[in-house]
Copies of this chain bind each other. A is one copy, B any other.
Amino acid sequence: MNGAESLLETLGHNGIEVCFANPGTSEMHFVAALDRQPHVRGVLGLFEGVVTGAADGYSRMLDKPAATLLHLGPGAANGLSSLHNALRARTSMVNIIGDHAGYHRSLDAPLTSDIEGALRPFSDWVRTSPSANSIAKDAADAIGYSLSGQISSLILPADTAWNNADQYTQPPNAVVPSSVSIKPVDVDAAAARLRDSGPRTAILLGGRALRTSQLEAAARIAAATGATLLAETFAARTERGAGRPTVTKIPYPVEPSVELLQNFDALIFVDAKPPVAFFAYPDKPSVLTAPGTTFFTLSPIGADSLQALEDLDEAVGAGSAGNHLADAVGSSRGRSSLLAELAPAPVPSGTITSAKLAAWLSGAIPENAIVLDESITTGWDFYAQTAQSQPHDYLGGTGGSIGWALPVGAGAAISSPDRKVIVLESDGSGMYNPQSLWTYAREQLDIVVLIFANRKYQILRNEMSNVGVADFGPKAESLLDIGNPAIDWVSLSHGMGVPATRVETIEELDRDFRAGLAESGPRLIEVLV
């Protein structure tokens, strides 16, 4: 057995089922080894940003890692910006990056580069395996490390792949890291605060605390204490919609988030951090909370947030713990309901506006859909308007690296073949990883993509005034305009094998969207806004 085969056996043994790949010469033995490992499937991306983005989407849905296979420094480099988002999403991922054979590196052949150095800013764990015999152990370490929501990057020189792993006998087990512990003193402090001044307290939920079980525990606490539930602005995945607890997302712009947060003089963090502005702006605060706000960390990043919330629920007492959520919420009548009811907005019609799109979307999301939202300025009201849609998973931007929704959508679809995936993408953002569409077609993924074509970088037009530029000239104007020439998304999509149409009214959009949902396989709709 060679080193490559020992790698694949170790991946399969430890539950890795998918390897998103864009391989090259130095990875050929790993590619060949795929056929000797029944448990690991290869999925090709034509660009590495698609590969690492898809692995992010896969892990966001399943809370387990996929592997990636990348080609030396430049191949890894093309995947880094998707890794940045994955880091911020606290995604589990195992990257396998080929390198030159050890004895070849010192010759400084053209493809030689500092691969470890390139990966380190965008990984939690980086290691180069020195020999065929070390691959299996290193791969098990990489998998184990990744399981707590981390990015592992393992560099494998080509000779470690083709050499004989003569000391290998069986695949080692990945060691699951011990999770960060919940401290009773932190639970007691948060409980005391809530009992003392619940209505002036917000519980800020982030990361994996935005899943239904955690949200229900948090909702019981809120019902019992009068606290407000907040969600971090950039969450990897939120389970929401009808029948699930509602939670208010901290807005992206500075002013409304400051306005929201001044209602609280204490924040309790559950898998979340103190909220700060996305960008700095002249004469605007970077810290969004009111001066003097007290911070309580109930559940540190990566800890068992469900346990923490259940402990807190019990600690705040008041008959809440153990009761059904509906009873608890029933006892808080007079405040707005904490459980969302199914109540989509009235169906709009005619020409398309952002507001009409939000209303339409609220009724269009099918039950159990996975919704990825990179609609940026077009979708400013999508999140709020879909709070009472059918229950769905909502995947958001996490690290600010543009163009994530198309690749992350591929991985989400592969993770969950029985669910419909809806990708809400803006035309500017969609051009960073458009190759994702080819993987949609190759794998016949059940994805409906809406491209919102305003034909400009509208967000940057808004940001010009935010950073204090009152007016700007034609050169600057030209760098914010992507309408000359207009991108024809229908042609682009056809070019990569995904059926596509263009719509200009809500009725056309609704017709094509429902047709896309009714079929299996991908479909793209360019929405002129």
Residue A319 at the chain B interface, CB threshold 8 Å? no
Q: Which residues of B contact A287 (CB under 8 A)?
A: 107
B28, B438, B467: the one within 8 Å of A158 (CB) = B467
Closest to A79 in B: B77
Residue A407 at the chain B interface, CB threshold 8 Å? no
Residue A182 at the chain B interface, CB threshold 8 Å? no
Residue A420 at the chain B interface, CB threshold 8 Å? no
Residue A382 at the chain B interface, CB threshold 8 Å? no
* B121 & A26 in contact (Cβ 8 Å cutoff): no
Query: How distant is A289 from chain B, measured CB to nearest CB, in Å?
Result: 11
Residue A484 at the chain B interface, CB threshold 8 Å? yes
Stretch in A109-117, A136-144, A221-229, A325-333 touching the partner: A109-117
Q: Which residues of B contact A398 (CB under 8 A)?
A: 110
CA distance A58 to B80 in the complex (A): 25
B28, B88, B460, B489: the one within 8 Å of A495 (CB) = B489
Q: Which residues of B contact A315 (CB under 8 A)?
A: none
Q: Which residues of B contact A279 (CB under 8 A)?
A: 25-26, 100, 104, 109, 111, 158
Residue A74 at the chain B interface, CB threshold 8 Å? yes
* B286 & A479 in contact (Cβ 8 Å cutoff): no
Residue of A25, A80, A158 most packed against chain B (CB within 10 A): A25
Closest to A429 in B: B46
Query: How distant is A498 from chain B, measured CB to nearest CB, in Å?
Result: 9
Residue A35 at the chain B interface, CB threshold 8 Å? yes
B441, B466, B485, B490: the one within 8 Å of A485 (CB) = B441
Q: Which residues of B contact A77 (CB under 8 A)?
A: 77, 80-81, 84, 122, 401
Stretch in A258-266, A270-278, A508-516 touching the partner: A270-278
Q: Which residues of B contact A493 (CB under 8 A)?
A: 495
CA distance A473 to B40 in the complex (A): 14
* B110 & A438 in contact (Cβ 8 Å cutoff): no
Residue A280 at the chain B interface, CB threshold 8 Å? yes
Residue A528 at the chain B interface, CB threshold 8 Å? no
* A81 & B74 in contact (Cβ 8 Å cutoff): yes
Q: Which residues of B contact A484 (CB under 8 A)?
A: 442
Residue A494 at the chain B interface, CB threshold 8 Å? yes
CA distance A177 to B72 in the complex (A): 32
CA distance A121 to B116 in the complex (A): 9
Residue A475 at the chain B interface, CB threshold 8 Å? yes
* A434 & B434 in contact (Cβ 8 Å cutoff): yes
Query: How distant is A45 from chain B, measured CB to nearest CB, in Å?
Result: 10
* B74 & A467 in contact (Cβ 8 Å cutoff): no
Q: Which residues of B contact A442 (CB under 8 A)?
A: 484-485
Given known pairs A25-B279, A476-B32, A485-B497, the reply for A113 and B122 (CB within 8 Å) is yes
* B469 & A29 in contact (Cβ 8 Å cutoff): yes
* B464 & A277 in contact (Cβ 8 Å cutoff): no
Q: Which residues of B contact A100 (CB under 8 A)?
A: 279-280
CA distance A122 to B104 in the complex (A): 20
* B487 & A431 in contact (Cβ 8 Å cutoff): no
B85, B107, B118, B277: the one within 8 Å of A276 (CB) = B107
> Among residues 470 to 529 in chain A, which have CB atoms less than 8 Å away from a CB atom of chain B?
472-476, 478-480, 482, 484-497
Residue A205 at the chain B interface, CB threshold 8 Å? no
CA distance A24 to B462 in the complex (A): 11
Residue A159 at the chain B interface, CB threshold 8 Å? yes
* A110 & B400 in contact (Cβ 8 Å cutoff): yes
Residue A269 at the chain B interface, CB threshold 8 Å? no
Closest to A118 in B: B121
* A438 & B485 in contact (Cβ 8 Å cutoff): yes
B23, B278, B496: the one within 8 Å of A110 (CB) = B278
Q: Which residues of B contact A479 (CB under 8 A)?
A: 21, 23, 31, 34, 42, 44
Q: Which residues of B contact A418 (CB under 8 A)?
A: none
Residue A468 at the chain B interface, CB threshold 8 Å? yes
Closest to A470 in B: B32
Residues of A within 8 A of B (CB): 21, 23-26, 28-29, 31-32, 34-36, 41-42, 44, 46-47, 49, 72-75, 77-78, 80-81, 84-85, 88, 100-101, 103-104, 107-111, 113-115, 117-118, 120-122, 158-159, 162, 234, 273, 276-280, 282, 286-287, 397-402, 428, 431-432, 434-435, 438, 441-442, 459-460, 463-464, 466-469, 472-476, 478-480, 482, 484-497
| A–B pairs, 29, beta carbons within 8 Å | A24-B460, A25-B466, A29-B467, A31-B464, A34-B473, A41-B475, A42-B479, A44-B479, A46-B482, A47-B431, A73-B84, A73-B121, A74-B80, A74-B84, A74-B401, A74-B402, A78-B432, A100-B280, A101-B280, A103-B286, A110-B400, A113-B121, A431-B438, A434-B434, A438-B485, A442-B485, A488-B496, A488-B497, A491-B495
- Given A108-B273, A442-B485, 9 other A-B contacts at CB below 8 A? A29-B469, A32-B476, A35-B472, A35-B474, A73-B84, A74-B84, A77-B401, A158-B280, A491-B495
